[in-house]
Amino acid sequence: MYSGEHDSMASQTPGLGITPKGSRVLSMDVNVGKNGDFNKALTEARHAGVATVVLPLDWNQIETARNTFVPKINFLAIANSYYPALKMPVHLMIRPIHTNQKVVPADLMHLALDNPQTINRFERMLDWVASQIQNVDLKSLVIGSEVDIFFWGDPAKWKTWTRFYSTIAPYARRRFPGTLVSCETTQAAFSGPDIERVRRLHQSSDVVGVSYYPMENGLRGVKPPSVVSRDFATVVHTIPQKPIIYYQIGYPSSPALGSSPKQQAAFVRAAFRAWDEHANRILMLNFQWMHEIPKAGLDQYAEYYDNDTRKFREFLGSLGFQSWSGKPKPAWDVFKNEAADRGFGQTSTK
């Protein structure tokens, strides 16, 4: 749990120049590779130091029609039977807004998010969610993913989101006692002239949620790994009184984006070092992804996001730390070693 101590209170291990894990938590989006064996992938990730998972779901995946909860796959029920047996906590992300998409039940698409009917329906959906995950150790509930991308060009609609979130957050705390409530925006939302929007939004948050992929605008290419320290500090100093969770953090390895597998590994190392600088403020990093995405998966993402450019495919397709076939990339070895050096996983192999 967040201690509220200032960053300078973090102690470093003599000789290594790193900060032991302390109460920090390491996470990874453990997607399956070609062999399709999730149990094996999760075991490998846990051995490397991964201690929790983030389960993201769109609202319309849960409420499939008006007041009807018949998911095509009930991931909540699966999580309820799977993770408690492993003594593995879960962070649940429910998305009315997902990056550039509004993903609410079809009959609510015409209503504003702060409409009382929309708010009531979201609360009833949370009631059903609670009934499905009674055994889950739920650490945080994230409402919305990368919401600034959807709203940023329309200040009036951003205000509707802020009102929606400020109403839902207290209800979520009552429905899931002891669970941290958050909303996720991108790293870019923490700089620029409209930063007050983000501050107002997170007045309703227990923890500040961030998505971080250091890319030039329009996915023109990657930024150098050296920007991580500065970018983490920006979030820490923008909202100084609350803990932070990076629910998404990743870096592509594609040469088409000016990157490489070696540069992706350098980013992972830089992320751990920057995390050390703010060990008492940043509770968790959730790295994306364990495996690269095959063409069929990229086709689905391109359709979902309505973005079928080559750069978008290169970005998503090269985020994984292992190839689709399961061959480790340099980033995987760096991930394991940096985790181990801080006490997350097994002893470093460096």
Domain count, the chain: 2
Domain that holds residue 45: 1-51+207-343
The answer to whether residues 250 and 287 touch, using CB atoms and an 8 Å cutoff, is: yes
Number of residues assigned to the chain: 350
Are residue 76 and residue 15 in the same domain, yes or no? Answer: no
Amino acid at 257: L
Alpha-carbon 261 to chain mean position: 22
Are residue 95 and residue 229 in the same domain, yes or no? Answer: no
Q: DSSP letters along 54-104, please?
A: EEEEEHHHH--BTTB---SS-HHHHHHHHTGGGT--EEEEEEEEETTEE-S
Domain harbouring 169, CATH code? 3.20.20.80
For 342, the token pair is: 């801080």
Are residue 9 and residue 72 in the same domain, yes or no? Answer: no
pLDDT in tens, 206-240: 999 999 999 998 899 999 999 999 999 999 999 99
Are residue 198 and residue 102 in the same domain, yes or no? Answer: yes
Are residue 212 and residue 200 in the same domain, yes or no? Answer: no
pLDDT over 50 (residue 12)? no
pLDDT in tens, 156-203: 999 999 999 999 999 999 999 999 999 999 999 998 777 899 999 999
Q: How far is CA 295 from CA 142, 226, 262, 288, in A?
A: 29, 31, 23, 17
β pairing state of 180-182 and 101-102: unpaired
pLDDT in tens, 76-88: 999 999 999 999 9
Query: Averaged over 145-156, what is the pLDDT?
Result: 92
